[in-house]
């Protein structure tokens, strides 16, 4: 494999599993031997803390890269997982949405920063905030593909057309190559009809774009971030760990079949 593939995890709906999927998919690929960078683009910093990077120890964050001309390499932190690196986010980033409005090339700053890493990483993941503002636009502009996590809940599909319209807008102007690379069903509860119905609706709508792997609702997955560990380190035999390993394999199948 050559070059870097950039993948944004986006859905403006909050709490659907973007950060959980970003951290655990990234970790599963890193453990499979790929060099992975996860960029936290959410002021909440869930991917940052979920990978064990302490707020107090952060000297350079994604905010400094987007608004203070720091280089991306300067912001990269190692994690406890081999091959997995993170660019942390701090609460400063909450202001970036507004500060970016008046700066030059405001939509392409992240793309330029990622471009500077050359072939250092096989995959770069971007964990987006739950909004469709300039941060998400930066992610969509920098990305080769978007993965959309969808929570198997009532109203799961609400707001999706807005996201798809935004993706189309970016495709039409800033990033013609952008595609929807996948949809991941999260927090699936096989005992409920609702989960099954939502999964079916998503598959009817997205067809092959939807990943076959479904992420089950699992308490272990929600506990792991408070230990600063991906599920693979926290509880490798849990259902959540198995599911994200499967997702990693399916992701790699899609990405090697294309080459």
List interacting residues with Mg ion (CB under 5 A): 18-19, 46
Q: Which residue is nearest to Mg ion (CB)?
A: 19
- Structure token digits, residue 94: 């909450």
Nearer to ligand ATP, 71 or 226 (CB): 226
What distances in angstroms separate CA 103 from CA 99, 100, 134, 150, 190, one per listed residue? 7, 5, 11, 33, 48
Listed in order, strand segments (DSSP E) in the chain are 5-9, 36-40, 77-78, 84-87, 123-127, 145-151, 179-188, 210-216
Binding site partner of 172, from Mg ion, ligand ATP, none, Cβ cut-off 5-8 A by kind: none
Say which entry of Mg ion, ligand ATP, none residue 141 contacts (CB below 5 to 8 A, set by partner kind): none
H or E segment and range at residue 240 = helix 239-257
> What residues are paired with 210 via a beta bridge?
183
Show the tokens assigned to 146: 């978007």
Shortest Cβ 110–ligand ATP spacing (Å): 17
User: Closer to ligand ATP at the Cβ: 20 or 175?
Assistant: 20
Residue that has been written with the tokens 């107090």 in this structure = 56
> Of Mg ion, ligand ATP, none, which one does residue 215 interact with (CB within 5 to 8 Å by kind)?
ligand ATP
CA distance 248 to 242: 10
- Provide, rounded to whole angstroms, the least separation between the CB of residue 143 and Mg ion: 16
For ligand ATP, give the closer residue by CB, 103 or 219. Answer: 219
Question: Of Mg ion, ligand ATP, none, which one sits near residue 3, judging by CB under 5 to 8 A according to partner kind?
Answer: none
- Minimum distance of ligand ATP from residue 123's CB (angstroms): 18
Q: Smallest gap, in angstroms, from Cβ of residue 102 to ligand ATP?
A: 26
Q: Which residues bind ligand ATP (CB under 6 A)?
A: 14-20, 42, 44, 46, 130, 186-187, 215, 217-218, 221-222, 225, 240
In this complex, which beta carbon is closest to ligand ATP, that of residue 15 or of residue 118? 15
3-class DSSP state of 37: strand
What is d(CA 230, CA 23) in angstroms, rounded to the nearest whole number?
Answer: 6
């Amino acid at each position: 494999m050559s070059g870097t593939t950039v993948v944004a995890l986006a859905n403006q709906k909050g709490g659907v599993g973007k950060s959980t999927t970003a951290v655990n998919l990234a970790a599963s690929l890193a453990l499979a031997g790929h060099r992975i960078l996860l960029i936290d683009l959410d002021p909440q910093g869930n991917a940052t803390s979920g990978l064990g990077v302490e707020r107090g120890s952060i000297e350079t964050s994604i905010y400094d890269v987007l608004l203070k001309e720091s280089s991306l390499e300067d912001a990269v932190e190692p994690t406890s997982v081999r091959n997995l690196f993170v660019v942390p986010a701090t609460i400063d980033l909450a202001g970036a949405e507004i500060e970016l409005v008046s700066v030059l090339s405001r939509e392409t700053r992240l793309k330029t920063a990622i471009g500077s890493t050359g072939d250092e990483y096989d995959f770069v993941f971007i964990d987006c905030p739950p909004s469709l503002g300039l941060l998400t636009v930066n992610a969509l502009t920098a990305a080769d593909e978007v993965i959309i996590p969808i929570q198997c809940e009532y109203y799961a599909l609400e707001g999706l057309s807005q996201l798809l319209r935004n993706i189309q807008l970016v495709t039409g102007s800033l990033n013609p190559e952008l595609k929807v690379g996948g949809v991941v069903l999260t927090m699936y509860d096989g005992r409920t009809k609702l989960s099954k119905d939502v999964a079916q609706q998503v598959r009817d709508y997205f067809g092959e774009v939807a990943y076959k792997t479904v992420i089950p609702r699992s308490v272990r997955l929600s506990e792991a971030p408070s230990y600063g560990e991906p599920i693979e380190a926290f509880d490798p035999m849990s259902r959540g760990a198995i599911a994200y390993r499967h997702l990693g394999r399916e992701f790699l199948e899609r990405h090697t079949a294309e080459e």
